[in-house]
Chain A
Amino acid sequence: MVTKGTVNAVISNMVTLKVDGPISQNEICYISTGGDKLMAEVIKVVGDFAYVQVFESTRGLRVGDEAEFTGHMLEVTLGPGMLSKNYDGLQNDLDKMDGVFLQRGDYTYALDKEKKWHFVPTAKVGDKVKAAQWLGEVDENHQPLKVMVPFTLDGEYTVKSVVAEGDYIADDTLIVIEDAKGKQVEVNMIQKWPVKTPMMNYKIKPRPFKLLETGVRCIDTLNPIVEGGTGFIPGPFGTGKTVLQHSISKQAEADIVIIAACGERANEVVEIFTEFPELVDPHTGRKLMERTIIIANTSNMPVAAREASVYTAMTIAEFYRSMGLRVLLMADSTSRWAQALREMSNRMEELPGPDAFPMDLSAIISNFYGRAGYVELNNGESGSITFIGTVSPAGGNLKEPVTENTKKVARCFYALEQDRADRKRYPAVNPIDSYSKYLEYPEFEKYIEDKINGEWTDKVNEVKTRLLRGKEIAEQINILGDDGVPVEYHVTFWKAELIDFVILQQDGFDDVDSVTPLERQEEILNMIIDICHDEFEFDNFNDVMDYFKKLINLCKQQNYQEYKSDKYYELGKQIKQMVEEKKK
């Protein structure tokens, strides 16, 4: 029997229902009002009363309006056809909705009902299988999508029948499996999974160690992120969080990219809609959109759905990870998600924690980041979810609950800095405060040694030391004046500036400079480090400045040239010559 309820109270999007039967925490229900059905989630139960958060506007809702419970938590439908789709936070396909405006109560199916997919079975009758085991695959945008044993099953099953290779719709039964007691389960291409429950269908979760190339120099060279790693980008508004995230999502060497636009600007999502279908994936040569899924809960969409959107995105990521793929998940911004939690907690009149955020914010954030990671599947294959979230700290002050709690769990920290942004030094990632814990992993060092060379990590550390030294000298010069410090200090300072201008700063809007392949990054790093090791002789600090400005200009011009083009080599020669002339 379906549990029913009637509306008893309405405060903004929090509604209290009087229910007539059993319900569970986080269960989904639909409230009918004025011909619309409004989706809502149970967030608290007191006696016969269920407190639900409504994912839509509650305008016109009346006491006495009826609700019907569904018996399940908020879940997503996982299957072929998700790639290149634009979803809202509840996985409604936005393109299937009619009209210019989002109508209340308009829910659309996430997949394509009619579309046929070419299925190639790999399982054979008699095979013993377990949940999440691969049984065959279909081709989804040139990406193999596995047909898997339903994730929700327990224990061992035997394959009873398998259809022949051919074209099927997602709903068609492809394989029948049977458990020890003879209970049969029909398997199709679709999985359903509640978004707030992590998928644990892997064997182990080792420490991640494989570099994830992003083409952004201040990340790859200085503070690399790894496949299955976690990172976050805090920064005041206007420091380039979104531009940096977009660069990463365009260039990163991942199989699947999922972008959760969580409470951010609609025009930024439109930018992705417009640009990604045109842009080419630098690694496969196909259109970027073919490997991308967008979850758009823009800031004007209902707040409760904003909280759901990051979970929807993570669950889709876990689905692809179960197929042994490398998934990159970007959430912009996790602060909006935390604010959605705050609004709800406030309406439920819970005792507030710091800055009126709920007390369990820290646990919620760490559990969420914990769902990312590099895993080894039961069949020996590996998959990963690399998660990068942005944080929008109020007033640009990093001592606020969301930043602090995220810092506890994310392994990479890319601090965007107002001062660098003001001086147009983009990406405005502060090279001294930022860090990547992965640089300290021996596994990572070993991996880099095999992939690039054994000196890489030492050089990176030297760059960091030089940047710090440069900053210290800049402060001394500010206090003592240009004349107050020896000329060698100026040389050291300008060597740090050289690193800043040539390695750290990158023109995200230039076709060439925006993406630097690892091989080229290595060349730049070697060149700059060699210059830093050279000893120069100058008469006074003005000469130092003039000389390095010219040198920086040449190096920057080189960054704008196509890699290994004639102009690139020519500028390389000029740089060398300039260094030789001035070297001691």
Chain B
Amino acid sequence: MGAKAFQKIYTKVTQITKATISLKAKGIGNDELATVNGKLAQVVKIVGDEVTLQVFEGTGGIPTNAEVIFLGKAPSLKVSEQLSGRFFNAFGDPIDGGPAIEGQEVEIGGPSVNPVRRKQPSELIATGIAGIDLNNTLVSGQKIPFFADPDQPFNQVMANVALRAETDKIILGGMGMTNDDYLYFRNVFSNAGALDRIVSFMNTTENPPVERLLVPDMALTSAEYFAVEKNEKVLVLLTDMTSYADALAIVSNRMDQIPSKDSMPGSLYSDLAKIYEKAVQFPEGGSITIIAVTTLSGGDITSAVPDNTGYITEGQLFLRRDSDIGKVIVDPFRSLSRLKQLVIGKKTRVDHPQVMNAAVRLFADAANAKTKMENGFDLTDYDERTLGFAKDYSNDLLAIDVNLNTNEMLDVAWGLFTKYFKPEEVNIKQELVDQFWKK
């Protein structure tokens, strides 16, 4: 991004902080890009003739006489079919050694879809994982994060989901991802022969944190191209949104903003919503589904990032290690898919909603029985049976290594009901019990 002849070069920087610089300049637009000694920066504040720029790489080494050139445009991405199968950095420059992309240049972070031009999501996304398909069914056009501690295998589950789901494109946005995880994704997609369906925007832990702020918008701008122009089904994977929020906090702190809960900026909700709300189902068939990762600290979902996320996304998937069976399961209590009501019992078998609820209710009874047991009380016969049920349910259905179709999952559940309970104990509509109870 060299200077063109007619562009004015500023050389007097008046203020430098860790992430921002200020200088006197005229005729500058809000959100406009600039280069500061070749480093990319963006206008974040204008007061009179004083312009403040956020330097993505950080301001280390920037002198007070740095050359500042304004580019007259907001951050943008060239979109075309050529994006398929390519790997980019946070600025949308190729990192796979391939040629630059040719295509229409689009500003990232563009306008929102008019709600009346959306279609209600109604297509099920099958993943084979019963903890998802049975209890928390995903729907195209949905936005849903994994809530997981950093040590949990969320990237593996996410890669599985991406490959099993029937989609035209998978767009991976990596924020603060370790290089190892980046290579993991690359390998898994490559081994599955899916590389030509992948577009990847990557900010690893080796890159400056503030650069991450561009990744979701880059990923979603390319997603919008495929979903709107090509009517394709696009799955966007964003990992890890907590790192993204950390970068937001850094910038807002440098801008002297008053922090709200957990040192996060007061605008955190709007900032996250702007990203997640790009998930959409269009009437013409194109869709953007977002599966994200929000890492937690010690399973605490009340801290600002997971809390705000939970209010924005359409549910969350919660992973937890079940010590009874020694496997990671999709926690049925904390997980939720808000859009499942649109497909379960409609696109799936009629008994799906009631079977799902009954199984979770019985699993809750088992949790109570376990508490009783731990407190040293005698267990009733019913308690014993719920405990047996819980173990099987956890192993046969909730574990993340399950790969079944929905009817098989429902049959397994009815099988477990029959094994441990009497029909009147499961609280399911009589007509369904008559039809499906295993005799």
Chain A contacts for B302, CB-based, 8 A: 394-397
- Nearest B residue to A545 via CB reads B382
The one of A61, A102, A270, A396 that contacts B30, using a Cβ cutoff of 8 Å: A61
Asked if residues B29 and A102 are in contact (CB atoms below 8 Å), the reply is no
Chain A contacts for B310, CB-based, 8 A: 236-238
Asked if residues A271 and B380 are in contact (CB atoms below 8 Å), the reply is no
B361 within 8 A of A: yes
Given A8-B47, A481-B377, A549-B424, do A101 and B115 touch, yes or no (CB 8 Å)? Answer: no
Given A270-B115, A343-B267, A346-B257, do A10 and B274 touch, yes or no (CB 8 Å)? Answer: no
Asked if residues A482 and B267 are in contact (CB atoms below 8 Å), the reply is no
For the complex, give the distance between the alpha carbons of A151 and B318 in Å. 54
For the complex, give the distance between the alpha carbons of A481 and B374 in Å. 12
17 A-B pairs (CB sep. < 8 Å): A11-B47, A60-B31, A97-B114, A100-B117, A237-B307, A238-B316, A267-B339, A298-B112, A355-B260, A356-B260, A394-B261, A396-B307, A422-B364, A424-B360, A481-B372, A542-B380, A557-B429
Chain A contacts for B178, CB-based, 8 A: none
- Nearest A residue to B45 via CB reads A11
Known: A346-B266, A397-B302, A545-B380. 6 other contacts (CB 8 A): A11-B46, A237-B311, A266-B115, A267-B142, A333-B311, A336-B269
Q: Which of A138-146, A299-307, A308-316, A360-368 contacts B (4 or more CB under 8 A)?
A: A299-307
Chain A contacts for B341, CB-based, 8 A: 509
Asked if residues A542 and B361 are in contact (CB atoms below 8 Å), the reply is no
Tell me the chain A residues, 514-562 only, with Cβ under 8 Å from chain B.
541-542, 545, 549-550, 552-553, 556-557, 560
Q: Digitize B43-66: 1 where CB-to-A-CB distance is under 8 Å, 0 elsewhere.
A: 011111100000000000000000
Chain B contacts for A549, CB-based, 8 A: 424-425
The one of A12, A301, A482 that contacts B378, using a Cβ cutoff of 8 Å: A482
> B326: shortest Cβ distance to chain A, in Å?
24
For the complex, give the distance between the alpha carbons of A60 and B44 in Å. 11
For the complex, give the distance between the alpha carbons of A557 and B357 in Å. 15
> B208: shortest Cβ distance to chain A, in Å?
22
Task: List residues of A whose CB falls within 8 A of some B CB.
Answer: 8-12, 16, 57-64, 86, 94-95, 97, 99-104, 236-238, 263, 265-267, 269-271, 273-274, 296, 298-301, 303, 333, 336, 339, 342-343, 346, 352, 355-356, 392, 394-397, 422-424, 478, 481-483, 509, 541-542, 545, 549-550, 552-553, 556-557, 560
B32 within 8 A of A: yes
Asked if residues A104 and B312 are in contact (CB atoms below 8 Å), the reply is no
B177 within 8 A of A: no
Asked if residues A63 and B228 are in contact (CB atoms below 8 Å), the reply is no
B138 within 8 A of A: no
B258 within 8 A of A: yes
For the complex, give the distance between the alpha carbons of A238 and B316 in Å. 9
For the complex, give the distance between the alpha carbons of A238 and B425 in Å. 26
The one of B121, B267, B338, B360 that contacts A303, using a Cβ cutoff of 8 Å: B267
Asked if residues B364 and A424 are in contact (CB atoms below 8 Å), the reply is yes
Chain B CB count within 10 A is highest, among A392, A423, A483, for A423
The 3 closest A-B pairs by CB, nearest first: A395-B302, A299-B273, A300-B277
Q: Digitize B302-330: 1 where CB-to-A-CB distance is under 8 Å, 0 elsewhere.
A: 11100110111011100000000000000
Asked if residues B282 and A100 are in contact (CB atoms below 8 Å), the reply is yes
Asked if residues B118 and A300 are in contact (CB atoms below 8 Å), the reply is no
The one of B48, B119, B381 that contacts A542, using a Cβ cutoff of 8 Å: B381
Tell me the chain B residues, 359-402 only, with Cβ under 8 Å from chain A.
360-361, 364, 371-372, 375, 377-378, 380-382
For the complex, give the distance between the alpha carbons of A108 and B40 in Å. 38
B28 within 8 A of A: yes
Asked if residues B311 and A392 are in contact (CB atoms below 8 Å), the reply is yes
Chain B contacts for A238, CB-based, 8 A: 310, 315-316, 336, 338
Asked if residues A423 and B361 are in contact (CB atoms below 8 Å), the reply is yes
Given A59-B30, A62-B27, do A265 and B277 touch, yes or no (CB 8 Å)? Answer: yes
Chain A contacts for B82, CB-based, 8 A: none
For the complex, give the distance between the alpha carbons of A8 and B45 in Å. 11
Given A263-B269, A267-B141, A423-B361, do A274 and B120 touch, yes or no (CB 8 Å)? Answer: yes
Given A273-B116, A395-B307, do A356 and B258 touch, yes or no (CB 8 Å)? Answer: yes
B415 within 8 A of A: no
B270 within 8 A of A: yes
The one of A59, A343, A423, A545 that contacts B74, using a Cβ cutoff of 8 Å: A59
Chain B contacts for A104, CB-based, 8 A: 111
Interface size on B, residues (CB 8 A): 82
- Nearest A residue to B74 via CB reads A59
Asked if residues B116 and A95 are in contact (CB atoms below 8 Å), the reply is yes
Q: Digitize B330-353: 1 where CB-to-A-CB distance is under 8 Å, 0 elsewhere.
A: 000110101101000000000001
Q: Digitize B232-264: 1 where CB-to-A-CB distance is under 8 Å, 0 elsewhere.
A: 000000000000000000000000011111000
The one of B118, B307, B429 that contacts A270, using a Cβ cutoff of 8 Å: B118
> A542: shortest Cβ distance to chain B, in Å?
6
Chain A contacts for B277, CB-based, 8 A: 265-266, 298-300
B26 within 8 A of A: yes
Asked if residues A298 and B260 are in contact (CB atoms below 8 Å), the reply is no
Chain B contacts for A100, CB-based, 8 A: 113-114, 117, 228, 282
For the complex, give the distance between the alpha carbons of A80 and B222 in Å. 42
For the complex, give the distance between the alpha carbons of A94 and B116 in Å. 7
- Nearest B residue to A352 via CB reads B258
B427 within 8 A of A: yes
Chain A CB count within 10 A is highest, among B74, B259, B336, for B336
Chain A contacts for B114, CB-based, 8 A: 94, 97, 99-102
- Nearest A residue to B114 via CB reads A102
Chain A contacts for B353, CB-based, 8 A: 509
For the complex, give the distance between the alpha carbons of A564 and B117 in Å. 42
B280 within 8 A of A: yes
Asked if residues A299 and B49 are in contact (CB atoms below 8 Å), the reply is no
Asked if residues B29 and A550 are in contact (CB atoms below 8 Å), the reply is no
Asked if residues A61 and B29 are in contact (CB atoms below 8 Å), the reply is yes
B191 within 8 A of A: no
Chain B contacts for A101, CB-based, 8 A: 110-114
For the complex, give the distance between the alpha carbons of A396 and B311 in Å. 11
The one of B258, B301, B378 that contacts A346, using a Cβ cutoff of 8 Å: B258
For the complex, give the distance between the alpha carbons of A423 and B361 in Å. 6
For the complex, give the distance between the alpha carbons of A86 and B267 in Å. 26
For the complex, give the distance between the alpha carbons of A16 and B381 in Å. 72
B430 within 8 A of A: yes
For the complex, give the distance between the alpha carbons of A483 and B26 in Å. 82
> B375: shortest Cβ distance to chain A, in Å?
8
Chain A contacts for B333, CB-based, 8 A: 422
For the complex, give the distance between the alpha carbons of A316 and B142 in Å. 32
- Nearest A residue to B303 via CB reads A395
The one of A99, A271, A343 that contacts B266, using a Cβ cutoff of 8 Å: A343
For the complex, give the distance between the alpha carbons of A483 and B383 in Å. 14
Chain A contacts for B31, CB-based, 8 A: 58-60
Chain A contacts for B118, CB-based, 8 A: 266-267, 270
Chain B contacts for A552, CB-based, 8 A: 427
Asked if residues B378 and A483 are in contact (CB atoms below 8 Å), the reply is yes
Given A299-B277, A343-B270, A556-B427, do A267 and B314 touch, yes or no (CB 8 Å)? Answer: yes
Given A296-B115, A424-B361, do A303 and B260 touch, yes or no (CB 8 Å)? Answer: no
Tell me the chain B residues, 53-104 only, with Cβ under 8 Å from chain A.
74
Asked if residues A62 and B424 are in contact (CB atoms below 8 Å), the reply is no
For the complex, give the distance between the alpha carbons of A296 and B115 in Å. 8
For the complex, give the distance between the alpha carbons of A270 and B48 in Å. 42
- Nearest B residue to A18 via CB reads B48
Asked if residues A270 and B49 are in contact (CB atoms below 8 Å), the reply is no
Asked if residues A10 and B116 are in contact (CB atoms below 8 Å), the reply is no
Asked if residues A550 and B424 are in contact (CB atoms below 8 Å), the reply is yes
Chain B contacts for A63, CB-based, 8 A: 26-28, 46, 48-49
> B202: shortest Cβ distance to chain A, in Å?
25
- Nearest B residue to A104 via CB reads B111
For the complex, give the distance between the alpha carbons of A397 and B302 in Å. 9
Chain B contacts for A545, CB-based, 8 A: 380, 382
- Nearest A residue to B331 via CB reads A422
Chain B contacts for A342, CB-based, 8 A: 260, 266
For the complex, give the distance between the alpha carbons of A533 and B44 in Å. 69
